[in-house]
A and B are shown apart, each in its own frame.
Chain A
Amino acid sequence: MSPRPGVVLEVDRSTPPTLFWHGEGFRLEKLPVGSRIVYAPEPVSPLANPDSAIRQALENPLGDSAPLSSLLRPEMKLTIAFDDVSLPLPPMRAPDVRQRVIEAVLQMAAEKGVDDVQLIAALALHRRMTDDELRHILGERVFNAFAPYGLLRQHDAEDPSNLVHLGFTDEGEDVEINKRAAESDLLIYVNINLVAMDGGHKSVATGLSSYKSLKHHHNVRTMQHSRSFMDMHHSELHTSNWRMGKVIADAGVKVFQIETTLNTDTFPEQFRFLQRREWEWALADRAGFFASSRALERTPPGLARKIFHSIKAPHCLASVQAGEVGPVHARTLEHVHRQQLVTVEGQSDILTMGLPFISPYNVNSIMNPILVACLGLGYFFNLYRGRPLVREGGVVIMSHPTPWAFNPVHHPSYIDFFEQVLAETTDMFEIESKYETTFATDPWYIHLYRTGHAYHGVHPFYMWYWCAHALSHLSRVIVVGGERAAVRRLGFSPASTFSDALEMAEDAVGRNPSITHIHTPPLLIADVQ
């Protein structure tokens, strides 16, 4: 049976309560009659023979690119860059799709006798991964063949000796990327396109670049004009990256892009109810929900976090395409859209969402308040094509415990951003002009980024800018069940219960508002007509 498409359900009296994620837990909430719930399409069927599909994609590239095997020669310098731990979410069960692809590429390189090969994790300003994380992404065979010899690197955006400035775009944007990648005879980029925002020229132009380059598209103005990030044709972020991609190509950097999509099979069997529609919950699903939600209520937050972060998603390879960046990404987007698009008629006054335990920036870590804001307003709000799910001046109600808690190893600059900057102002432009450079050039944050496992000093700013479009669009943001002080620090309103939140929202949108609930994960893109 082929997977069912997404559906927009109108809540009536007989609609069972709806599942809301709430950090490391979940709740059932009764939505008012007449509300809409957007359900994601069911996961598409995986490729039956992924290894064979990968080999075929490498040998039958799209666009103006020769088969990979004909691009490899013994004396060449080959660099393979790959997406970091922020993809996919949750991390997938071994073997990771990057492992499969990189093993296939290396097999060809070995057959062709290519000696000079390096692997680079395209971190941009993300934290360096641990050996265990790298081993999970690449598999032991690749890790053991490269890491002990210093041939597996993590991109360092603060190492001037390993960066090269390739020029400026027509708009005067600096294009500075990893030197080894730029000077290689062939740069192979292996990506995972979990959402429509990923991939394309963004892979190299962002993943392998420096702060000097990133600040041209990671800023308040660009973020406000990206409507949405999931629609590259209306995203200033993507337009800037595409301009940079042209400069990279004009500078002679030969990129062979390998893009993959995964199906949205997000949770293992014991949590299967999380991706089933509530009215279809069987006895096992209801029992699973009851047992796990009761157990989680009694579990200390740290332990609950550990349990959730140990989840490995049963994602499977849904498509793989390789070759020239443009045509490859166009094909990839077709696959993403086929899997995630749900048509929704019109906007509503209120958009509700339950935020889960994980975002791209807290894998194996704590979801701090800034990341809560980013996940809700940066990611979930932007899961649309056309128009936002909520009207201008509308309200977003999100559910998350929003603890005033940070991982000091991963997010040191977030702590200072929250304690010092947001305590003073939440205004994006003021924050950008007054504080960004100080944090971005702080030697201690740079040291922690380069030598530890810390996100770059400027990263919390980007997470805050990520909310720019939503915050300029909405009149109010309400967080249900969040730690009050933390929610207020973000400039949002805390509410104890969902019905309290709906009452509070009436101040902004009037009585009897229209409500849409985005039921994700699994991921979806609302195609708002």
Chain B
Amino acid sequence: MSRSAARELALFLLRAPTRPAGVEAPRLKSRTGVEYPTEWARRYAVRLARAMVLDDVTLPLVTAAARPAFYGRDALERLEGPVIVAANHASHLDTAILLASLPPKRRHHTVVAAAADYFFDRHWKAALSAFSLGAIPMERVKVNRRSADAAAALIEEGWSLIIFPEGGRSPHGWGQEFKGGAAYLAKRCQVPVAPVHLRGTRAILPKVPEPARSRFRPGKTAVRFGELLWPSEEEDARRFAARIEAAVALLADEAEGDWWTARLRAGRAETPSLRGPAVSPWRRAWSLPASADPSRRPSGRPEGSAATAWDEG
């Protein structure tokens, strides 16, 4: 066979045939969003690669930038079997910090529920999320059984799940209503929920609505685990979701003050709501605790230390 004939043959074999103009091209089925298949990311080789990247790159970097302090992890360490970790959500750092807070064995057997419309809307984002965090797509815009079924199947296989019941990062620093996903899965699979409060992540990397601008500023964070919450027979998913939210609110109160005062307030049913005061937007923004507000000006000199204009007057 001559050289040119061999080249032609190679091109014929390797190149796809061109489509005649009169023939309509079939529409390629989108495999992004909630349809994105993530099974490949749980194969042993991929899990091994993810474990190496997580343990040796991602988590050391995040830990250096966020300097997390962990409280109450003992409840989780005593548990055998899967758990649903439900936390407040204010920053992209939250997932990595939660993964860092889990014991290594559980960390490498955990999937993360991630917004299908945000993390799985492009192939590259979907692949990156599935590989780097073990993310699975969760529908948050419309009712869809598929994502819940997929998550339930994984929990029944023994995987733990990290989920943010608020459905997305807080745009203003205050919490949002806890949706029923975590509670529903816990009831359906009869696994406990570990309520977690993350403090300080928004001050490092906030989500802020336009025209404000996100900025990355290293700082300190605190991760508080509460007592495991088991679903009960007589409690529906909505009530259980409210109980999870209340548990996280209690941890938030504890984070801003101390354990005992938070308990006293809880006893009097006076635990501050995660969602902040029901006032105008500016006052909600203004009354954010400093730990959730990346824009606070450091306070200056101590009070009354010097002359003032009024004194001069």
Contacts and interface: CB of A to CB of B under 8 A. Distances in A.
Task: Tell me if chain B binds chain A.
Answer: yes
A485 to B, nearest CB: 41
A320 B295 contact: no
A139 B285 CA distance: 14
Given A49-B300, A95-B297, A106-B286, A149 B281 contact: yes
Interface string B208-250: 1111110000000000000000000000000000000000000
B211 A131 contact: yes
The residue in B171, B172, B280 that gathers the most chain A C-beta atoms within 10 A of its C-beta is B280
A300 interface: no
A147 B212 contact: yes
B297 A99 contact: yes
Contacts of B282: 106, 117, 145-146, 149, 151
A484 B299 CA distance: 52
B42 to A, nearest CB: 39
A331 B309 CA distance: 11
Nearest to A331: B313
A319 B296 contact: no
A319 B286 CA distance: 26
Contacts, number: 96
Contacts of A331: 313
A146 B308 CA distance: 29
A43 B310 CA distance: 19
B285 A321 contact: no
A167 B77 CA distance: 75
B157 interface: no
Interface residues of A, number: 38
Contacts of A196: none
Interface string B261-281: 000000000000000000111
Interface string A138-166: 01110111111101000000000000000
Contacts of A131: 211, 213
Interface stretch (A51-59, A230-238, A247-255, A518-526): A51-59
Contacts of A149: 281-282, 285
Contacts of A117: 280, 282
A343 interface: no
Contacts of A60: 310
Nearest to B304: A52
A50 B285 contact: no
B287 interface: yes
Interface in A251-271: none
A99 B295 CA distance: 12
Contact of B295 (A48, A56, A144, A151): A144
A490 interface: no
Nearest to B287: A110
B132 to A, nearest CB: 29
A47 B306 contact: yes
A113 interface: yes
B213 to A, nearest CB: 7
A115 B294 contact: no
B283 interface: yes
B308 A53 contact: yes
B114 to A, nearest CB: 25
B283 A148 contact: no
Interface of A: 47-53, 56-57, 60, 95, 99, 103, 106-107, 110, 113-117, 131, 135, 139-141, 143-149, 151, 319-321, 331
Given A52-B303, A56-B309, A151-B282, 8 more contacts: A53-B308, A56-B308, A107-B286, A115-B280, A135-B213, A139-B297, A144-B295, A146-B285
15 contacts: A49-B301, A49-B306, A56-B310, A99-B297, A113-B283, A117-B282, A131-B213, A143-B212, A144-B295, A146-B282, A146-B285, A147-B211, A147-B212, A148-B210, A149-B281
